[in-house]
């Protein structure tokens, strides 16, 4: 009986320690992200929301590419959902947090280069609206973040839904050509209120 009680007490103390750790080492709630390339403009930026510890992120970003070679400037609004294997604020190697990542982004093209609805001069069924796209990104992140904030740097390979369609279904584009490199940096703001346990 005594060994069983000692084991239960040990498990209880471990659980309380884990709760205390989660109280004092919560991930920052918000982050600002800047990104170079990645099929949502040469440059893009916006805000991210860590849910609950950064293994799931929701984000809203704006992307832009200037006009060149006769093409119109690109403007895009992106809604990003990203997941990671490890929490954003938990060190994996020394003081560094590292994790593989997977994200899906819904991209809305703005600025008159694409349409949500066809202009009236186009006949019905002639050309489908192409102002909404999906992006798939696979990559990783590394940095140093704690309850007071910090930096994360990301590297991803990104594919546009249209390119994947032509690669898998139409077989008109080589698979490796459907992907593009994206480099990102995130600053995670500190000062998240601590969660209190009990009364």
d(CA 32, CA 151): 10
Residue 118: per-residue pLDDT: 65
pLDDT by residue (tens digit) across 10-20? 434 333 333 44
d(CA 49, CA 55): 11
Domain 26-189 CATH class label: mainly beta
| pTM beyond 0.75 | no
pLDDT by residue (tens digit) across 160-174? 888 888 887 777 778
Q: Are 108 and 132 in contact (CB under 8 A)?
A: yes
List C-alpha distances in Å: 41 to 66, 67, 115.
Answer: 9, 11, 17
Q: Are 61 and 41 in contact (CB under 8 A)?
A: no
Quote the percentage of the chain above a pLDDT of 70.
Answer: 72
Closest CA to 57 of 196, 156, 133, 132: 156
């Amino acid at each position: 009986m005594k060994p069983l009680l000692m084991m239960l007490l040990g498990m209880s103390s471990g659980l309380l320690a884990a709760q205390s750790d989660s109280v004092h080492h919560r991930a920052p709630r918000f982050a600002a992200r800047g990104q170079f390339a990645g099929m949502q403009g040469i440059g893009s930026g916006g805000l991210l929301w860590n849910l609950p510890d950064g293994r799931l992120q929701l984000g809203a970003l704006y992307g832009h590419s200037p006009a060149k070679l006769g093409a119109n400037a690109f403007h895009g609004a992106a809604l990003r959902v990203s997941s990671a294997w490890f929490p954003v604020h938990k060190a994996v190697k020394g003081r560094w947090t590292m994790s593989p990542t997977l994200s899906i982004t819904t991209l809305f093209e703005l600025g008159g280069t694409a349409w949500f609805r066809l202009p009236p001069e186009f006949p019905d069924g002639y050309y489908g609206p192409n102002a909404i796209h999906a992006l798939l990104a696979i990559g990783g992140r590394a940095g140093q973040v704690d309850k007071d904030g910090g930096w994360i740097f990301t590297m991803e390979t990104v594919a546009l839904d249209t390119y994947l369609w032509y690669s898998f279904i139409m077989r008109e584009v080589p698979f490796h050509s459907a992907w593009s490199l994206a480099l990102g940096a995130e600053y995670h703001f500190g000062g998240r209120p601590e969660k209190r346990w009990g009364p």
